[in-house]
Structure 1
Amino acid sequence: MQYSVAIVILNWNGWEYTQSCIASLLEAGYSEGDLIIVDNASTDGSIPNIKSHFPKAHLIQNAKNEGFTGGNNRGIQYALTKGYAYVLLLNNDTQVLPGFLEFLIEEMKISGDLAAIQPLIYFMGDKDEIWNAGGNYHAWLGYSQTNYQIQSDQPYLTEWISGCAILVRSTVLEKIGLLDHNYFAYFEDVDWSLRMRSQGFELKVHPKSIIYHEAGAASKSKTKGRQGFLDPKVHFLNVRNQVFQLRKYCIGPKQWLAWPFHFAKFSLFIFYFTLKGRHSKSKAVMKGIWEGLKTPLRASK
């Protein structure tokens, strides 16, 4: 069955993942012509491989790494100019099961207030373990929490959905705008979800739509170094973007709980990393706090 859906896949030095992801899409019957592959200035030979293996896909080549937000925004903008009714953002380190998109589309058709919907996401390495089943947002703490349990055997409401795989209505994008480019990566999906819900839209998870995710493919080292598996930049982005969230959403009475909660958490991070001798990570957390406080916030659209 054919739908007006553009599938945006972001690649950054991840040709092998991208190839496997697209192979699973094609095996499931989806059209190569509806693929929009955005490359974030890869240096691993991704570009010639993408061109030779998937010539019908539309390839966007960024001159620099624009992150998850900037890269995906390029793909979304192109999809909107082509008049697609829906845009699916799909991480390149995923593999899909046949029918996953049909489940999402059918729910979109019957739920007029539904802005976006995600599949049930399992770990690639352990296909019985759930990586993401939607999430809760605790407004008074400014804290987003991932669900690891299916909430229902039918499509169910959630407070935020994962950018790993998210189907969005194009008409909603015209109202709430693109991903916030300030974020670069991490927590941008929570921000997007909150913006959608603030406009009265709903978000859902469809438990019958299933994909698998190689979690951390772009952020984790395969071997543990002195600083651990995660690059300090990941901690910088996580902390900075959480401060962005506080500034955006935890205002008025909420700030008296949310800000102390987060700064206590950040202090524990600094203490732990210092204790472990991971000074680059301690500095990354402190830099994240500073940058999060001083960076001008962008308008929602």
Structure 2
Amino acid sequence: MLYIVIPVFNRLKYTRACLDSLRKQTNPNFRVVIVDDGSTDGTATVLAADYPEVTVLPGTGSLFWTAGVNLGLRYALEQGATWCMTMNNDVVAYPDFVARMMEAAESRPPALYGAFELDASTQEPIYGGGWLDWRTGSFRNLLHELTPEQRRGLHRTQNLPGRGLLIPREVFDRIGMFAEKVLPHYYADYDFTHQARLAGFEVYLNFDAHLGTYPEESGDTQNRQRKSLRNYYNHLFSIRGGANLRDFTRFARRNCPPRYLPLFLVNGYARRIVGYFLR
């Protein structure tokens, strides 16, 4: 059985759209678990009234992404889940999304699978996997290498985000949960998928499984759009800061090959410190 785990904090309209898209799936063989981490916009009331099929787990109000996901995953595994999927509430799943993901999952040995992300408003490609260059800190984007005709089927990738990430139970049995103590919010998904690769699991981007996303709605994107010294500080040091230097350092030390670590850190710090003003 597949369990889909969605951590939420407010943004009820996105949660509704996400759940409505899951109700329209051609493959309905899954259960949804929402971790509501202290929402103040009526999320709990609406979920209880309008989405009785969803299991809602209350958070402490300070879980952030990683601990929230882990809370839902532990529940799913206790219920006997054979597959788990992490999903953010600000995505919409195309009707055949679950079917396409499970078809891929059942076609080969246990592996991790991510989704092809499209802008929900324009349908332009947003994310299609890729590889980190540990020497330069740059990202080799598969979308830049594949023609539209080649963007189908499965392509190996190095890391995957937690938006629509399909994980077999065997991965948790081998490497444990997401690293909530080390990476409470950002980088935890990339860390988890890379640790799974190091443990011997393949990681794929499934170009046949589509998710609609809202790239302009992420907290880090909005922070960049409203530039100020306070937001710059938050960008580099807040738990929700997309360039959090502490968490970037922890991610690098856990994943970067030792011979490249100094160069990766220097390049990474420079990109984060300067990049805020260049975008």
**Normalised-by-shorter TM-score class:** 0.7 to 0.9
Q: How many residues align?
A: 268
2:127 counterpart letter in structure 1: N
Counterpart in 1 of 2:152? 153
Counterpart in 2 of 1:284? none
Question: C-alpha distance in 2, partners of 1:30/1:154?
Answer: 19
The superposition leaves residues 229-248 of structure 1 with CA deviations (integer Å, 9 ceiling, x where unpaired) of 96853443423221112222
Any stretches of 5+ residues in structure 1 without a counterpart? 274-301
* 2:73 maps to 1:67: no
Q: Secondary structure at the match of 1:28?
A: coil
Question: C-alpha distance in 2, partners of 1:201/1:221?
Answer: 35
Deviation at 1:142, TM superposition (A): 5.1
2:53 counterpart letter in structure 1: K
Question: C-alpha distance in 2, partners of 1:224/1:265?
Answer: 17
Distance 1:42-1:30 versus aligned 2 partners, 3 A rule: farther
TM-score normalised per structure 2: 0.86
Counterpart in 2 of 1:57? 54
TM-score normalised per structure 1: 0.80
* 2:121 maps to 1:125: yes
Question: C-alpha distance in 2, partners of 1:33/1:196?
Answer: 23
Deviation at 1:135, TM superposition (A): 2.0
Question: C-alpha distance in 2, partners of 1:140/1:134?
Answer: 19
Maintained 8 Å contact 1:26/1:32: no
**CA root-mean-square deviation:** 2.8
Counterpart in 1 of 2:77? 80
Question: C-alpha distance in 1, partners of 2:230/2:95?
Answer: 33
Question: C-alpha distance in 1, partners of 2:111/2:218?
Answer: 28
Maintained 8 Å contact 1:13/1:44: yes
Deviation at 1:228, TM superposition (A): 9.2
* 2:261 maps to 1:255: yes
Deviation at 1:132, TM superposition (A): 0.9
1:243 counterpart letter in structure 2: T
The superposition leaves residues 115-171 of structure 1 with CA deviations (integer Å, 9 ceiling, x where unpaired) of 2101211011211x1111012122334555554345642211111112111010011
The superposition leaves residues 167-189 of structure 1 with CA deviations (integer Å, 9 ceiling, x where unpaired) of 10011111111111132222212
1:227 counterpart letter in structure 2: S
Q: Secondary structure at the match of 2:203?
A: strand
Q: Secondary structure at the match of 1:20?
A: helix
Deviation at 1:221, TM superposition (A): 4.2
Give the number of the structure whose alpha-carbon radius of gyration is greater.
Answer: 1
Deviation at 1:30, TM superposition (A): 5.5
2:200 counterpart letter in structure 1: G
Counterpart in 2 of 1:227? 228
Alignment of 1:36-51 (within 5 A): 36-51=33-48
Maintained 8 Å contact 2:67/2:184: yes
Counterpart in 2 of 1:186? 186
1:166 counterpart letter in structure 2: L
Question: C-alpha distance in 2, partners of 1:175/1:261?
Answer: 32
Q: Secondary structure at the match of 1:243?
A: helix
Question: C-alpha distance in 2, partners of 1:230/1:131?
Answer: 25
Any stretches of 5+ residues in structure 2 without a counterpart? none
* 2:140 maps to 1:140: no
Alignment of 1:11-26 (within 5 A): 11-26=8-23
